[in-house]
Amino acid sequence: MSDSCVIYIADLTHTYISLSSGTFPLGAASVGSAIDKALQGRVRIEVFKYPDDLEAALNRRRPDVFMFSGYVWNQNLGLSFARAIKDLDPTILVVAGGPNISKEEGKREAFLKAHPYVDFFVLNEGEIAAAVLVSRYLDNGCYIEALKKSQPPQCLSVDADGAFRAGGPLGRIGLKGSPDNGEEEIGGLFKNLDDIPSPYLNGMMDKFFDDKLYPLVETNRGCPFSCTFCQQGEGYFSKMAMRDVDAVNGELELIAEKMVAGSPNIARIEFADPNFAMYKRDLNIAECLRKCQDAHGWPRVIGCSTGKNKAAQILDAVEKVLPDTLVISTAMQSTNPETLAEIKRDNISLDAYSEVQTEIHRRGLRSMADVILALPKETLDTHVSAVYGLIDSGLQEFSSYQAMILKSTVLETEASRRAYDFDLRWRLLPRGMGKYRIGGKDEIVADLEQIVVATNTLSFDDYLAARTLHLVTMIYHNSGIFDVIATLLEENGVRKSTLIKALYENALDGTSAIADMVAAFRQETVSELFDTESACRDYYCNEENLERVKNSEIGANLLFKYLSIALTGAWPAVTEELLDMVATLAPVEGGLRADLENYLQARVINVSQADMRQTRTFSIKTGRMLEILSLDAAEKPHVTLTAQDKTFAALVHYKTVYPNNPNGWSQMLAMLRPHSFIRNVADPT
């Protein structure tokens, strides 16, 4: 080893199809900053996000220590590099971390024995544990087996004799009364979160201002809620540790300057906080974001999960930033009381939720929520009821997820699987595979997820029906395109859920104008599932199917894939189906249908077209259409629809980043949200 220990820390993203994870590697960089502070002068650290970047570094100089953070979307990619690095030089210390490991000790031991090239797995918060681990490694002469026998705190390992070893717990940073934090070994350096040097301020993140990634910022750690499907749902994370607001704001101001200079086409910032804006201090942070927006024109998109309660305060925080830059995101997951009890969650009532949505609309803000299919005790009826209830509450958009078996959660345990009779299947994560040069050899790597497709209260046929509803809702509600239809229904006393229900039933019985698209979606919903992890991996990890994934034939996020198809080639059929159904629920006389059709055709920006247009003009034939659009009937009947300059510029930029196929379009939809793909009424001429 040279005078300084060289440490590579990776939080990798798949890049072969497109970026599967677009955030700066905050967790890895925070661990790097902590190690650098604890062992100043003894280590040289570099952080990696891209596989090609890591491979190039390995060709220049092999590290003394390789650390990697794994989550469901990148653990196999990290493991592939870990295995190759150990093959290149068995003396390199290999350390894994992140939340993607089981709660159950037997499964933890099995994981390490299945991956013997991983010397240690660091649990929970990684900064102190990793710093202590490297400190001991250097102090004992860099002997890995001796290090294992010392049982570093919060670290798992299997020694040369096959014995599983688990170090004792460490307290969380920033909490009063925490257990010993390894202070005797690293000098008591990390009492509070702000004692970890910001990787944005110390230069460790500079290489990632590359016009590809968007910053990830953490203002606090912990979550007071106990959801059984979430990795922060248990005691370890139940108390809150806060960063200093002035430190956060200083970081935000520097990030804004660097983004404008180095990443001018990236509009987004993401907050890692699980309940952003739920605390009074977040109002100050929101004010700082607005200052950044006013001074730099950045950020234009603020991604976060807003708090589960304190709605009035959240509204006040969101109102401080520029309009339409931060969407209020409330995770409902279910409205079934039995399900909520099983997953240890307490939602506000739908009536109260409707009142919040009314206030959101009054203030001109945007809102979205999450629902999860196949949670314990959920039935098809209760799930459908939740969807209709959210639609009628005034919610503008919601995400429909399947229950994922995340490691380190209660739902992942064998006891939960038995209690709810989970039918579990494996599928490829969207964009979660690629062919990479790893340790000097080409390798195809796929990252997979395990999901629930049936329980003792929800059959697989129910699962398929619910997924069909998700598709119908994604197209006809979430997109935000059909504002004039919503107005027409409201004027005639028709609930929006009544329309969605009719479209859903048509989709189920095959009589819809989009029947072919729905059939293809359902077929892919079945064919994407595999009984075992190995069967799923074997199917995808070959050259033929890798190219099929790249071409969007298989392995995509199906809701976004088929929404992108609906908004491009299938748009005429989508509007035909809608207008046919609306005509059964509200009067659409004379030339109004033609006006509605022309309006809807002009409303959508077709991102598949090479000559994508910012504006479209069409003629209105009826006074009724002018009334619906709140336009003066005395004006000439020509209406121009246009996209905002910044929104259209973002679409143009992302067309250069992502492929021109459903994979690329769905990625753009996920990043910019469906409402960014529409034109709005400009001044009549």
pLDDT in tens, 483-504: 889 889 999 999 999 999 999 9
CA angle (135, 141, 144) in 5-degree steps: 80
570-573 own/partner pairs: CB under 8 Å, 24+ apart: 570/514, 570/517, 571/601, 571/604, 571/606, 572/601, 573/513, 573/514, 573/517
Spatial CB neighbours of 461, under 8 Å, sequence gap ≥ 6: none
**Do 119 and 95 touch, CB atoms closer than 8 A?**
yes
Q: What pLDDT does residue 109 have?
A: 97
β-pairing verdict for 301-303 and 268-271: parallel
Q: What pLDDT does residue 348 have?
A: 65
Hey, which residues does 333 pair with through a beta bridge? 371
Q: Where are the beta strands (DSSP E) in 403-502?
A: 423-438, 441-454
Hey, which residues does 157 pair with through a beta bridge? 165
Q: What pLDDT does residue 633 have?
A: 60
- What distances in angstroms separate CA 639 from CA 649, 683, 685, one per listed residue? 22, 7, 7
Locate all alpha helices (DSSP H) within 180-244, ordered by sequence: 183-186
Q: Among 463, 432, 503, which Cα is nearest to 12's?
A: 432
Condensed to tens digits (0 to 9), the pLDDT of residues 155-167 reads: 999 999 999 999 9
Residue 462 has φ and ψ, to the nearest 5°, of -60, -40
Q: Which two tokens stand for residue 354?
A: 């409707």
Spatial CB neighbours of 244, under 8 Å, sequence gap ≥ 6: 192, 194
Instruction: Using the structure block, give the residue that is written with the tokens 């004379």.
Output: 590
**Is the bond leading into 299 cis (omega within 30 degrees of zero)?**
yes
**Do 43 and 5 touch, CB atoms closer than 8 A?**
yes
CA pair distance 337, 356, nearest whole angstrom: 20
452 residue type, one letter: V
| 3-state class (DSSP) for residue 312 | helix
β-pairing verdict for 220-221 and 241-242: antiparallel
Residue 26's Cβ-side half-sphere holds a number of Cα atoms within 13 Å equal to 19
Residue 250's Cβ-side half-sphere holds a number of Cα atoms within 13 Å equal to 12
Q: What pLDDT does residue 623 have?
A: 85
CA pair distance 627, 630, nearest whole angstrom: 5
* pLDDT < 50 regions, the chain: 684-685
- What distances in angstroms separate CA 568 from CA 236, 492, 575, 601, one per listed residue? 47, 30, 12, 10
CA angle (65, 69, 73) in 5-degree steps: 145
Q: What pLDDT does residue 50 have?
A: 98
Neighbouring CB atoms inside 10 A of 535's CB total: 11
Q: Which two tokens stand for residue 137?
A: 């490694």
β-pairing verdict for 638-642 and 615-619: antiparallel
- What distances in angstroms separate CA 21 from CA 16, 49, 79, 215, 670, one per listed residue? 12, 9, 17, 12, 12
Distance, C-alpha 223 to centroid of its chain: 18
Helix then strand then coil, in percent of the chain rounded to 5, is 45, 15, 40
pTM (predicted TM-score)? 0.91
Residue 353 has φ and ψ, to the nearest 5°, of -65, -40
Q: What pLDDT does residue 182 have?
A: 56
Spatial CB neighbours of 164, under 8 Å, sequence gap ≥ 6: 105, 108, 109, 112, 156, 157, 158
Q: What pLDDT does residue 345 have?
A: 83
| Length of the chain, in residues | 685
Q: Mark residue 333 as left, alpha or beta (left: phi above 0; alpha: psi -120 to 50; beta: remaining).
A: left
**Do 59 and 442 touch, CB atoms closer than 8 A?**
no
641 residue type, one letter: L
371 residue type, one letter: V
Spatial CB neighbours of 403, under 8 Å, sequence gap ≥ 6: 229, 372, 373, 374, 375, 411, 451, 452
Neighbouring CB atoms inside 10 A of 468's CB total: 18
Q: What pLDDT does residue 662 have?
A: 85
- What distances in angstroms separate CA 416 from CA 105, 227, 228, 334, 413, one per listed residue? 16, 13, 10, 18, 5
Burial 631-661 (b: 16+ CB within 10 A, else e): beeeeebebbbbbeeebbebbebbbebbeeb
**Do 327 and 297 touch, CB atoms closer than 8 A?**
no
Residue 403 belongs to what H/E stretch? none
